[in-house]
Structure 1
Amino acid sequence: MSFISTSPPLARALAERNYSEPTPVQNAVLEAAAAGRDLLVSSQTGSGKTVAYGLAIGETLLDGAETLGRAGKPLALIIAPTRELALQVQRELNWLYQQANARVISCVGGMDPRREAALLDEGAHIVVGTPGRLRDHIERGRLDVSALRAVVLDEADEMLDLGFRDDLEFILKTAPEDRRSLLFSATLPKAIIALAKSYQRDALRIEVAGADRGHADIEYKAVRVYPKEAELAVVNLLRFHDAACALVFCNTRNAVRHLEAALLERGFAAVSLSGELGQSERNSALQALRDGRARVCVATDVAARGIDLPGLTLVIHAELPNDPEVMQHRSGRTGRAGRKGTSVLLVPASRRRKAEMLLGAAGVQAVWGGPPTQDEIRALDQERLLQDPLLSGEPGEDDAGMIEALLAGRSANELAAALVRVYRSRLPATEEVGDPGFGRDDRASRAPRSPEDYVRPRDRAGPRFDNADPDAPRKAGPRGETVWFRLNVGRKDGADPRQLLPMLCRRGKITRDEVGAIRIFDRETKVEIDADVAERFASLASAADRDKVVIELVTGDEERRPAKPFAEKAHHTKAPRRDDAPAERGFRKPYEGKGKPFGRENTRETYDPVRRDREPPADAADFPRGGKPFAGKPKHGERDFGGAKPFGAKKAFGEKKPFADKKPFGAKKPFAGKKPRRDDR
Structure 2
Amino acid sequence: MEKFKELGISDLTIRALTDMGFEEPTPIQEQAIPTLLTGRDLVGQAQTGTGKTAAFGIPLLQNLKNILGGIQGIVLTPTRELAIQVAEELNKLGQFSQIRALPIYGGQDIQRQIRALQRKPHIIVATPGRLMDHMDRRTIRLNDIKMVVLDEADEMLNMGFIEDIEKILSTTPDSRQTLLFSATMPRQIQNLAQKFLKDPVLISTKSKEVTVPLIEQHYYELHDRQKFDVLCRLLDIQSPELAIVFGRTKRRVDELTEALKKRGYSAEGIHGDLTQAKRDAVLRQFREGIVDILVATDVAARGLDVSGVTHVYNFDIPQDPESYVHRVGRTGRAGQTGLATTFVIPRELEQLRSIERITKRKIVRMTVPTVNDAIEGQQRLAIEKLLNQIEEGNLERYRGRAEELLAETDSVSLLSAALKLLTKEPDNTPIKITEEAPLRTRSFGSKRRQPEHRKDTASGKPRYKTGGYKK
Interval containing the TM-score (normalised by the shorter chain): 0.7 to 0.9
| Percent identity of equivalent pairs | 33
Contact 2:378 2:425 in 1 (8 A): no
Q: Secondary structure at the residue paired with 1:275? A: coil
**In structure 1, C-alpha distance between the alignment counterparts of 2:95 and 2:272, rounded to whole Å:** 32
Specify whether residues 362 and 277 from structure 1 end up closer, same or farther in structure 2 by C-alpha distance, changes over 3 A only. same
Q: TM-score, normalised by structure 2?
A: 0.83
Determine if the alignment matches structure 1 residue 144 to structure 2 residue 141.
Answer: yes
C-alpha distance in structure 2 between counterparts of 1:428 and 1:81, whole Å: 42
Where in structure 1 do 4 or more consecutive aligned residues deviate above 6 Å? none
| Inter-partner Cα distance in structure 2 for 1:257 and 1:92 | 31
Deviation at 1:107, TM superposition (A): 0.7
Note the alpha carbon deviations across 1:587-633, whole angstroms, 9 max, x for none.
Answer: xxxxxxxxxxxxxxxxxxxxxxxxxxxxxxxxxxxxxxxxxxxxxxx
1:405 maps to 2:406: no
Q: Unaligned stretches of 5+ in structure 2?
A: 430-441, 443-471
TM superposition shift of 1:428: 6.2
**Equivalence for 1:214:** 211
Q: Deviations over 1:402-433 (max 9, x none)?
A: 54234324544454344323322xx462669x
Higher relative contact order (CA 8 A, sep 6+): 2
Change (3 A) 1:40 1:228: same
Residue in structure 1 matched with residue 394 of structure 2 by the alignment: 395
Amino acid at match of 1:165: I
**Equivalent of 1:108, from 105, 108, 112?**
105
Conserved? CA contact 2:154–2:189, under 8 Å: yes
Q: Is the 1:236–1:431 contact (alpha carbons within 8 Å) kept by the matching residues of 2?
A: no
- Can you list the C-alpha shifts for 1:97-128, whole angstroms capped at 9, x where unaligned? 22223322111011100000000011112211
Q: Superposed, which structure 2 residues align to 1:26-45 within 5 Å?
A: 26-32=29-35, 35-45=38-48
What corresponds to 2:283 in structure 1? 286
Query: Deviation digits for residues 380-402 of structure 1, max 9, x if unmatched?
Result: 44443343332322217xx62x5
- 1:10 is aligned to 13
Structure (1/2) with the larger helix percentage: 2
Distance in 1, matches of 2:16 and 2:222, equals 47
Deviation string, structure 1 residues 493-528 (Cα, Å, up to 9, x no partner) = xxxxxxxxxxxxxxxxxxxxxxxxxxxxxxxxxxxx
The answer to whether the 8 Å contact 2:321/2:358 transfers is yes
Q: Is the 8 A contact 1:153 1:183 kept in 2?
A: yes
Q: How does 1:485-496 map to 2 (within 5 A)?
A: none
Cα drift, residue 366 of structure 1:
0.4
- Whether the 8 Å contact between 1:46 and 1:335 is mirrored in structure 2 is no
Mean CA deviation greater in 378-387 or 215-224: 378-387
Tell me by how many angstroms 1:378 deviates.
4.0
Local SS of the residue matching 2:211: helix
2:437 is aligned to none
Quote the Cα distance in structure 2 between the aligned partners of 1:290 and 1:178.
41
Task: Tell me the CA shift for residue 272 of structure 1.
Answer: 0.5
Alignment of 1:73-112 (within 5 A): 73-112=70-109
Number of the residue aligned with 1:312:
309
Post-superposition shift, 1:50?
A: 1.2
2:104 counterpart letter in structure 1: C
Q: Deviations over 1:506-553 (max 9, x none)?
A: xxxxxxxxxxxxxxxxxxxxxxxxxxxxxxxxxxxxxxxxxxxxxxxx
Give 1:151 shift: 0.9
- 1:371, CA displacement in angstroms? 2.4
Alignment of 1:232 with 2:235, yes or no, is: no
Name the aligned partner's letter for residue 405 of structure 1.
R
Instruction: Give the Å deviation of 1:314.
Output: 1.3
Cα gap change, 1:139 to 1:319, in 2 (>3 Å): same
CA contact (8 A) 2:236 2:377 kept: no
* Aligned partner letter, 1:23: T
Counterparts in 2 of 1:303 and 1:240: CA distance versus 1, 3 Å: farther
Whole-Å Cα distance in 1 between the matches of residues 380 and 14 of structure 2? 43
**Counterparts of 2:266 and 2:70 in 1: how far apart (Å)?**
44
User: SS where residue 78 of structure 2 aligns?
Assistant: coil
CA 1:328/1:213 → structure 2, altered by over 3 Å: closer, same or farther?
A: closer
In structure 2, what is the equivalent of residue 421 of structure 1?
Answer: 420
Verify the 8 A CA contact 2:212 2:329 in the aligned structure 1.
Answer: no
What is the one-letter code of the residue matched to 2:394? P
- 1:469-488 superposed matches below 5 A: none
In 2, Cα distance between equivalents of 1:30 and 1:196: 19
Alpha-carbon displacement from aligned partner over 1:198-223 (angstroms, at most 9, x marks no partner) = 11112111122134662423222111
Match of 2:189 in 1: 192
Q: Which residue of 2 aligns with 1:171?
A: 168
Alpha-carbon contact 2:61-2:99 (below 8 Å) kept: no
| Alignment pair present for 1:19 and 2:22 | yes
What RMSD in Å do the two structures reach over aligned CA positions? 2.5
2:457 aligns with none
Structure number with greater Rg is 1
**Alignment CA distance shift 1:101-1:416 (3 Å):** farther
Work out the CA distance in 1 between the residues paired with 2:264 and 2:198: 56
Deviation at 1:274, TM superposition (A): 1.2
List per-residue Cα deviations over 1:633-675 (Å, max 9, x = no partner).
xxxxxxxxxxxxxxxxxxxxxxxxxxxxxxxxxxxxxxxxxxx
- Which deviations, in whole Å up to 9, do the C-alpha atoms of 1:229-279 show, x marking residues without a partner? 111111122222222111111112221121111111111100001122111
Indicate if the aligned counterparts of 1:266 and 1:428 stay in contact, CA closer than 8 A: no
- 2:212, 2:333 within 8 Å by CA — same for their partners in 1? no
* In 2: Cα distance, 1:249 partner to 1:33 partner: 36
CA contact (8 A) 1:236 1:371 kept: no
* Amino acid in the other structure paired with 2:133: D
Residues 376 and 34 (structure 1), Cα distance of their counterparts in 2 relative to 1, 3 Å cut: farther
Could you tell me the TM-score, scaled by structure 1's length?
0.59
Q: Is the 8 A contact 1:316 1:344 kept in 2?
A: yes
User: Which letter maps to 2:277?
Assistant: S
Conserved 8 A contact 2:151-2:181: yes
Q: Say if 1:273 and 1:302, in contact at 8 Å, map to a contact too.
A: no
> Cα offset for 1:42?
0.5
Cα deviation for residue 167 of structure 1 reads 1.1
Residues 420-459 of structure 1: pairs in structure 2 closer than 5 A = 420-424=419-423, 427=424, 429=426
Distance 1:158 1:311, change over 3 A: same
Q: Does residue 352 of structure 1 match 2:371?
A: no
Q: Is the 8 A contact 2:73 2:145 kept in 1?
A: yes
| 1:144 aligned counterpart, secondary structure | coil
SS at match of 1:387: helix
1:335 and 1:182 mapped to 2: Cα distance?
28
In 1, Cα distance between the equivalents of 2:370 and 2:34? 51
